[in-house]
Structures are given as C-alpha cells and as structure tokens.
C-alpha cells in the first residue's frame, strides 16, 4: 500500500442514481420508490491485509471476530502468490462466513496465476481488481504498463470458462491527470474504480480548491470523460484519526462521517464502497496507520460501532423483491438535509436523514457545532413509527412514538433513521 500522503487522494462518485438535496422549504406529496435495505448492506466492504504476518492482522481470530461482528460481507486484499498457505485458508474461512474477497492483481502476474487463483480460494473469491494506485509506482512508464496489462488480464479472465463470471474492477488512480492516460483501457474492465479520500472533510464537501477541487462535480467530469457509462465501485475511502496528521480528525467526528459517507456513496450510484481499513496498526511506520475502524488493542472505535448498528438495522438477507413507493412529505428546516429511503421485504420503510455539513475544521483542528434541524415527516397513510438515533459512541437508541401520519424529529449531523411500518 503506497504512502497515503504521497499524493492527494481524489474524491469521486459515478452518478447513476437520484441524489436528494433538500432546500429550506416544504416538499409536498413526495412519492419515492425505496431502494433495498439489504442491497445497501451488501454495498459495504472493508480493506484488510491478511498476509501481513508482522502486523496485527496476524491475530486472525480477532480479525475474523471483528469482521463478523461488523456485519460486513466483502473484503479487499491482494492476489498474492504465496507459499504461506494460511493466507488461502483464512480467505476461505471468511468466505464460508459469507465474507467474500476482491483481490488486487499486479502487472507482473501470469495468465496461469490469474486464472488459477480462484481455485486456491474457492469459498472466498468474487472479483479481480487492476493494480493498486499504479500512478504512484516507481514505474516511469506506469500508464503504458497498465494499458498493456489490462487487456491481458481481461482476456485471460473472460476467455476461461472457470473465471469468466468474475467481474474485473478497473485501476485505482490518485491524480486527476492520470485518468486520460488510461482511458483507452475502458473496454477491459467491468467497473470503474476510485479511491475517494476526503482529506478530513465531510462526505458532502463542496471541495477545497479552485473550480470545486475535490467535490463530486469536479471529479465526475474526470470519470465521465475517461470511462463513460461504466458502473462504479470505490475500493478505498476513509478517515485518519491521528490528530498530528494534517488530514486527521477525531474518532467521534469519524463516527458522524462514516455512516454518512456510505449513504452518500450509495446515493451517488456507487455500487460498493470498501472502507480503508479494518485495523489501526498502532505505530508510526506508515502514515495511514490511524485509518482503522478498530484500535490496535482490537477495541472498536465509535465509527465501527455506528456502522455495525446501522448494518444490523438494515440487514435483510433473501431473494430480490418488489420495492414499493412511499408517499410522504418533509417540511421544516431542510437546509442541507439529505435522505435515503430503504425498504425491507416485509414492507417496512427506513428513512435515513442527516445534515450534510462539516462537523470539524480539519485545518484549524476545531469542532464545528451543528444545530439540530426540526423536521416534520408526514405520510399519506398511518404507519407505526420507530426512531433510531446514533449517539457519540456509535450506539443506537430506539424510541417508539407509536402509530400516526406525522412526526416531528430533530435531525443532526449524525444519521437518524425513521422506521415506518404499514
């Protein structure tokens, strides 16, 4: 993994679904088709380094427990040609738990290795990924190397009947000027790939440079020009928690941003988002060691707890089902209020709401108070309501106001979920 400070990470989303930005005015008679709650849960992944036996990832029993307790179904690691067989065993063990792996390839790997690898980890393997952040490599001809390797990867995988079903995720890049250099490789992967780090800003940041640098709109133009029409996954994003780092933010701010980050990515059509990373490695050897959701003693950070509770709330495994419309209106102080409407197969709706503004100034290292917004949620039909609120520790408090058509709720910069059952 390259040094995260070696280059500014880009922020991007591939916009293929509706985005809801709400102004300070009532939205009346809004009829909206829900998205699958379980599909949202399935959109969440996390980065791990199971082959790094000289780090905390060597404690596989604790790693496995942390992944299982989190409720995540997807991990990202390396397609490593190793003689250390526990690597394969551990990937397979996680696969049996329903935690599947996307594995990162290297330009030097042979066709035999690429097509044979899924047989080494048959319980786990679900996707190939192009080389990681190769525009930061020591290869002076990095773009030519990628443009040569990607057709070979695609042809090897898609021509082999045992591997052709596996998708290929495209290359991750770190610089705006890198995208045009590999635009010609678009036919040779199934999903566009971005590493969208926010440099300590809130997920909905308008950017922090000229022409909205770092904002959604700024990077979307790069993505559309390089890979038009490609579906999108994000294989790295997250927040540093080392206050000494220029981009570091406190853990309780991460606990606000991380649930919002996953929901914002989902709103923008990102089909899967892998957070970086599971473990905080607990030393200063690398500048990215404070990214982890779990402390170096394996105690959970507040962000981990918040995500675990959110994923548990939305989890609804089973076959696809017909999603319904919900007729509702929002009124009150709706400035910067974003929402996502989800549904479970029993018909219950889950309306996630939050105020998408900064909670922290990463430059001055100062907290930014965010006033609660009073919102009225009105439904056409009477529904049974429950309100799920995340607190500063990531714990979820649930209140049950009962049956009705209207409810006043207080929305803050922490995700709040209104559950509505017909």
Q: Which residues of 216-234 are buried (b: 16+ CB within 10 A; e: fewer)?
A: bebbbebbeebbeebebbb
Closest CA to 266 of 318, 314, 330: 314
Residues 119 and 194 in one domain: yes
User: What pLDDT, on a 0 to 100 scale, did the predictor assign at position 131?
Assistant: 98
12 within a domain of the structure (yes/no):
no
Residues 221 and 119 in one domain: yes
- Confidence category of residue 8, pLDDT binned at 50, 70, 90: very low
Question: Per the structure block, which two tokens stand in for 173?
Answer: 């890049």
Residues 245 and 98 in one domain: yes
Other CB atoms within a 10 A radius of the CB of residue 203 amount to: 26
Number of domains in the chain: 2
99 within a domain of the structure (yes/no):
yes
Q: In percent, how much of the chain has pLDDT > 70?
A: 92
For helices 251-267 and 302-314, give the axis angle rounded to 10 degrees: 40
Taking the CA atoms of 210, 212, 217 and 219 in sequence, report the sign of the dihedral they define: positive
Question: Per the structure block, which two tokens stand in for 222?
Answer: 């790069």
334 within a domain of the structure (yes/no):
yes
Asked if pLDDT for residue 246 goes beyond 80, the answer is yes
Residues 262 and 384 in one domain: no
Residues 338 and 238 in one domain: no
User: What pLDDT, on a 0 to 100 scale, did the predictor assign at position 287?
Assistant: 63
User: What pLDDT, on a 0 to 100 scale, did the predictor assign at position 12?
Assistant: 33
User: What pLDDT, on a 0 to 100 scale, did the predictor assign at position 243?
Assistant: 86
Write down the pTM of the prediction: 0.93
β-pairing, 21-22 vs 337-343, is antiparallel
Q: What is the pLDDT of residues 296-333, one digit of tens each?
A: 999 999 999 999 999 999 999 999 999 999 999 999 99
User: What pLDDT, on a 0 to 100 scale, did the predictor assign at position 217?
Assistant: 76
2 within a domain of the structure (yes/no):
no
338 within a domain of the structure (yes/no):
yes
Q: What is the pLDDT of residues 177-213, one digit of tens each?
A: 999 999 999 999 999 998 989 999 999 999 998 888 8
Residue 20 DSSP code? -
Closest CA to 238 of 267, 189, 203, 284: 203
User: In the listed set 314, 349, 367, which residue is the last one of a domain according to the structure?
Assistant: 314
Span 127-148, average pLDDT? 97
- Confidence category of residue 45, pLDDT binned at 50, 70, 90: very high
- Confidence category of residue 284, pLDDT binned at 50, 70, 90: low
Distances (CA, A) of 114 to 84, 104, 167: 18, 10, 13
User: What pLDDT, on a 0 to 100 scale, did the predictor assign at position 301?
Assistant: 97
10 within a domain of the structure (yes/no):
no
187 within a domain of the structure (yes/no):
yes
Asked if pLDDT for residue 3 goes beyond 80, the answer is no
Q: Rounded to a whole number, what is the largest CA-CA distance in the chain?
A: 65
Chain-wide mean pLDDT for the chain? 91
Residue 56 DSSP code? G
User: In the listed set 264, 283, 314, which residue is the last one of a domain according to the structure?
Assistant: 314
Span 64-73, average pLDDT? 98
Residues 219 and 363 in one domain: no
Question: Residue 414 is part of which domain span?
Answer: 325-421
Asked if pLDDT for residue 9 goes beyond 70, the answer is no
Residue 43 main-chain phi, psi, to 5 deg: -80, -5
User: What pLDDT, on a 0 to 100 scale, did the predictor assign at position 26?
Assistant: 52
User: What pLDDT, on a 0 to 100 scale, did the predictor assign at position 10?
Assistant: 35
- Confidence category of residue 282, pLDDT binned at 50, 70, 90: confident
Q: What is the pLDDT of residues 74-102, one digit of tens each?
A: 999 999 999 999 999 999 999 999 999 99
Beta strands (DSSP E) in 188-241 are 192-195, 232-237
User: In the listed set 279, 314, 349, which residue is the last one of a domain according to the structure?
Assistant: 314
Cα–Cα distance for residue pair 293/396, rounded to 1 Å: 17
β-pairing, 100-104 vs 27-33, is unpaired
Q: What is the pLDDT of residues 12-21, one digit of tens each?
A: 323 333 344 4
Cα–Cα distance for residue pair 48/225, rounded to 1 Å: 31
User: What pLDDT, on a 0 to 100 scale, did the predictor assign at position 200?
Assistant: 95
Cα–Cα distance for residue pair 348/190, rounded to 1 Å: 33
- Confidence category of residue 214, pLDDT binned at 50, 70, 90: confident
Cα–Cα distance for residue pair 240/201, rounded to 1 Å: 11
Closest CA to 239 of 285, 286, 176, 196: 196
């Amino acid at each position: 993994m390259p040094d995260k400070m070696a280059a500014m990470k880009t922020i991007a989303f591939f916009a293929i679904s509706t985005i809801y930005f709400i102004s300070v005015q009532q939205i009346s008679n809004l009829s909206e088709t829900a998205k699958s709650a379980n599909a949202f849960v399935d959109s969440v992944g996390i980065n791990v380094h199971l082959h790094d036996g000289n780090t905390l990832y060597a404690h596989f029993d604790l790693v496995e427990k942390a992944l299982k307790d989190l409720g995540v179904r997807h991990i990202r690691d390396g397609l490593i040609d190793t003689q250390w067989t526990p690597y394969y065993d551990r990937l397979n063990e996680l696969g049996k738990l329903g935690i599947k792996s996307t594995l990162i390839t290297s330009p030097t790997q042979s066709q035999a290795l690429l097509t044979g690898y899924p047989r080494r980890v048959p319980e786990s393997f679900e996707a190939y990924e192009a080389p990681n952040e190769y525009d930061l490599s020591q290869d002076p001809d990095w773009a030519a190397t990628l443009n040569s390797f990607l057709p070979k990867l695609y042809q090897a995988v898609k021509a082999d009947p045992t591997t052709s079903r596996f998708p290929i995720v495209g290359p991750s890049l770190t610089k705006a000027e890198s995208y045009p250099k590999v635009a010609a490789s678009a036919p040779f992967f199934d999903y566009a790939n971005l590493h969208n780090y926010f440099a300590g800003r809130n997920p909905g940041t308008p950017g922090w440079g000229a022409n909205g640098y770092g904002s959604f709109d700024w990077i979307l133009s790069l993505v559309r020009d390089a890979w038009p029409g490609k579906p999108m996954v994000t294989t790295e994003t997250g927040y540093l928690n080392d206050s000494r780092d220029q981009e570091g933010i406190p853990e309780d701010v991460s606990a606000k941003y991380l649930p919002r980050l996953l929901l914002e990515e989902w709103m923008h059509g990102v089909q899967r988002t892998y957070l970086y990373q599971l473990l905080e490695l607990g030393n200063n050897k690398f500048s990215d060691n404070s990214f982890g959701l779990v402390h170096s003693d394996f105690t959970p950070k507040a962000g981990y707890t918040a995500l675990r509770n959110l994923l548990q709330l939305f989890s609804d495994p089973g076959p696809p089902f017909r999603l319904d419309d919900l007729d509702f209106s929002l009124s009150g102080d709706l400035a910067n209020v974003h929402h996502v409407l989800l549904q479970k197969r029993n018909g219950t709706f889950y309306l996630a709401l939050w105020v998408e503004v900064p909670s922290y100034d990463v430059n001055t290292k100062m907290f930014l108070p965010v006033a609660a917004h009073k919102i009225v949620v009105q439904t056409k039909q009477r529904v049974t309501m429950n309100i799920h609120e995340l607190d500063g520790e990531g714990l979820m408090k649930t209140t049950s106001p009962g049956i009705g058509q209207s409810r006043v709720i207080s929305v803050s910069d922490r995700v709040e979920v209104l559950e509505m059952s017909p």
